[in-house]
């Protein structure tokens, strides 16, 4: 089972334990928490094996998005990916900011910026991966967490991005020390690009929060990005 399903199961067991203890005090039938727990466990199991955990992801993401601060943070994270990709010549094909939006587009996970990775995939398959393309994608993957850190002094998202970076570099059979070095370098490059284009970045955050079309977001950046 995925982590979200396990979390739901843990919560349901905790809730059943509490209601079992407090039930007699509030005249609650023991059958109520038992039925509720059975229902949650059943839903979590079906979600894991039938929908690959998407239901739990959408539910938790929906609850989190009641917070305006969370919604802004997600937009800032994804705008970081978007801007750095555009600056480094990696086409952005779409973006989503919630798990529900991602689900509607046939994507797995909580949403995010989607890139055209055809060139990278082709090079990985042929075993002829150029250093230039690796460095570009590494910077793009790190840009979301870097954008969060610049705004909030910490990053809540980005674990999946770091995993993608490390898995890609591991395919090149690089030693751990070199992988860590490239990770730091990619973060620094992303930071420099975001700081050099702060005005364009802020405009992009607003555009993405308003769910502007992808072409409009691209055009906005073309008009405001600093040329390297």
Report pLDDT digits (tens) over 14-60: 666 666 665 566 665 666 556 666 565 555 555 454 544 454 454 55
State in Å, rounded, how far the first CA of the chain is from the last one.
46
Q: How far is CA 124 from CA 52, 89, 118, 134, in A?
A: 26, 19, 10, 10
Please tell me which residue, 187 or 222, carries the higher pLDDT value: 187
For the ranges 3-17, 74-88, 107-121, 160-174, the lowest mean pLDDT is seen at: 3-17
Residue 134 and residue 204: Cα distance in Å, rounded?
25
**Are 168 and 134 contacting, i.e. CB atoms less than 8 angstroms apart?**
yes
Mean pLDDT across the stretch 134-147? 94
Mean pLDDT across the stretch 214-221? 94
pLDDT at 120: 73
Is residue 9 over pLDDT 90? no
Highest mean pLDDT among 75-79, 95-99, 103-107: 75-79
Residue 102 and residue 219: Cα distance in Å, rounded?
23
Residue 227 and residue 198: Cα distance in Å, rounded?
13
Sorted by where each begins, the domain ranges of the chain are 3-50, 68-224
Would you say the pTM of this structure is higher than 0.75? no
Give the domain 68-224 fold.
Answer: Methane Monooxygenase Hydroxylase; Chain G, domain 1 (1.20.58)
DSSP one-letter code for 141:
H
Average pLDDT value for the chain: 78
For the CA atoms of the chain, what is the radius of gyration? 21
pLDDT at 140: 96
């Amino acid at each position: 089972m995925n982590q979200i399903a396990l979390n739901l199961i843990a919560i349901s067991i905790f809730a059943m334990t509490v209601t079992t203890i407090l039930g007699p005090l509030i005249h609650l039938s023991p059958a109520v928490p038992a039925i509720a727990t059975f229902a949650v466990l059943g839903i979590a199991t079906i979600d894991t094996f039938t929908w690959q955990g998407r239901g739990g992801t959408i539910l938790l993401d929906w609850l989190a998005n009641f917070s305006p601060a969370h919604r802004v943070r997600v937009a800032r994270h994804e705008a970081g990916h978007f801007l750095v990709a555009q600056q480094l010549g990696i086409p952005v094909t779409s973006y989503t900011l919630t798990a529900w939006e991602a689900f509607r587009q046939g994507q797995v996970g909580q949403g995010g910026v989607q890139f055209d990775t055809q060139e990278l995939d082709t090079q990985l398959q042929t075993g002829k991966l150029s250093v230039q393309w690796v460095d570009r994608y590494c910077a793009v993957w790190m840009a979301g967490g870097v954008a969060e850190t610049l705004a909030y002094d910490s990053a809540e998202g980005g674990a999946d991005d770091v995993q993608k970076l490390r898995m890609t570099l591991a395919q090149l059979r690089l030693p751990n020390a070199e992988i860590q070095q490239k990770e730091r370098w990619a973060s620094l490059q992303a930071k420099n690009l975001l700081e050099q284009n702060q005005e364009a970045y802020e405009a992009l955050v607003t555009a993405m929060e308003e769910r502007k079309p992808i072409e409009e977001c691209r055009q906005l950046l073309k008009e405001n990005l600093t040329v390297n």
